[in-house]
Amino acid sequence: MSQWTRNALKILSSDQLRTSDTHLYRLDIPALTGIDIYLKDESTHPTGSLKHRLARSLFLHAICSGQIREGTHVVEASSGSTAVSEAYFAKLLGLPFTAVMPASTTRSKIVQVERLGGHCHFVGHASQVYDAAEQLARETGGHYMDQFTYAERATDWRGNNNIAESIFRQLAEEPHPEPEAIVMSAGTGGTSATLGRYIRYAGLNTRLVVVDPENSVFFDSFQQRDNTLTSQACGRIEGIGRPRVEASFLPEVIDGMIKVPDAASIATIHWLERMLGRKAGGSTGTNLWGVLQLAQDMQKAGKTGSLVTLMCDGGERYLDTYYNADWVAEHIGDITPWSEQLALLG
Ligand SMILES: *Cc1c(COP(=O)(O)O)cnc(C)c1O
């Protein structure tokens, strides 16, 4: 093993030691007595989203697989949180990093990648990012990280403080430490893969429910057991929902899926802000809407218990979109019917 590799692993390990685990909030929802709802706050990672865990795992996996060495140019197809988190780790390791993104990518994401020393390479359309990233890596002798393929296998799913282990450890002294269900949305599908595998590994009775936004093929692909489905339309909930079934999406570990209207997701983050005093990204609304449906089902069945989901990123990134009434009216539509339903809960 080269001195660089040894040192790189030490840098990643000491960085992890300096950072702390994320909080698990318990929401207090007046209308849902006997049902405890928990929210794992992934927005507090140094790069602001759950992709911090993924980026660390992808770098570790690629270094230990001999694919990233001293000076390796790291390339990723991402216009979102993954590009920001990978730029952070590339900088830490002194590696050149390029994010391949559509020209339409929001300015703030570009600024964040560049502030971390990363480079942004633009293509005309979102569907071109995969091929362009692969080609750029090949031409420069670099490494294409390929989050959509490697997310499920780069994560240490049995433990090592992965998100599932962390959640169950934090629940240990709660009234219902074994939740009825964990609800998660899918972008790469990596987080739901880790949760689903861990639930089996730990022998738990918890169900894994995956929520999917409009214009995504995951829900239909799950129902029809068809992983060749594609869609032309663009999703509006950043970070989740895909126009193709990504390799990291593992339907075998999922117990059920719920389709969530985009307007319901956005209404839910506004409702959450009143409950918790915090803004969250759109995917957190999708997650929490799914949880609230399950909670109401439990209530109707006379059950008590707990439900868990994730706050995937914070809302400060979306002040111009999900938290801007004009933008919401134009791109999402009228959210009042959903807000009225939520208001009944508290
Ligand atoms: C990536 C992402 C998700 C989905 O996580 P995966 O593990 O990729 O399925 C959800 N929300 C946000 C904001 C994300 O960036």
| pLDDT exceeds cutoff 80 at 167 | yes
Q: What's the pLDDT at 104?
A: 80
Atom nearest to 191 CA in ligand 1: 7
Q: What's the pLDDT at 72?
A: 98
Same fold, 19-49+154-343 and 52-151: yes
Q: Parse the chain into domains and list their residue ranges.
A: 19-49+154-343, 52-151
Ligand 1 touching residue 206 (CB < 6 A): no
DSSP letter at 37 equals E
Q: Which of 285, 293, 291 is nearest to 179 (CA)?
A: 291
Ligand 1 test: best mutation among 42, 50, 188, 250, most atoms within 8 Å of CB?
50
Q: What's the pLDDT at 346?
A: 86
pLDDT band at 127 (very low <50, low <70, confident <90, very high): confident
Q: What's the pLDDT at 84?
A: 96
47 — phi, psi (to 5°)?
-105, 20
pLDDT per position as a tens digit, 184-199:
999 999 999 999 999 9
Q: Helical H runs in 172-228?
A: 190-201, 218-224
Ligand 1 touching residue 239 (CB < 6 A): yes
Q: Is 68 exposed, middle or buried (0-12, 13-18, 19+ CB in 10 A)?
A: buried
For the domain spanning 52-151, the CATH number is: 3.40.50.1100
Q: What's the pLDDT at 109?
A: 83
Q: What's the pLDDT at 102?
A: 85
Q: Give DSSP secondary structure letters for 214-276.
A: TT-SHHHHHHHT-TT-B--SPPSSTT---SB--TT--GGG--EEEE--HHHHHHHHHHHHHHH
Q: Which fold has domain 19-49+154-343?
A: Rossmann fold (3.40.50)
Q: What's the pLDDT at 234?
A: 81
pLDDT per position as a tens digit, 234-271:
889 999 999 999 999 999 999 999 999 999 999 999 99
Arithmetic mean of pLDDT, 66-77:
98
Q: Which of 151, 147, 171, 159 is nearest to 309 (CA)?
A: 171
- Going by C-beta distance under 8 Å and a sequence separation of 6 or more, which residues neighbour residue 139? none
CA-nearest residue, atom 12 of ligand 1: 239
With contact defined as beta carbons under 8 Å apart, do 185 and 287 qualify?
A: yes
Q: Give me ligand 1 centre to Cα 300, in Å.
A: 31
pLDDT per position as a tens digit, 257-313:
999 999 999 999 999 999 999 999 999 999 999 999 999 999 999 999 999 999 999
42 HSE (CA, 13 A, CB side): 24
Ligand 1 touching residue 78 (CB < 6 A): no
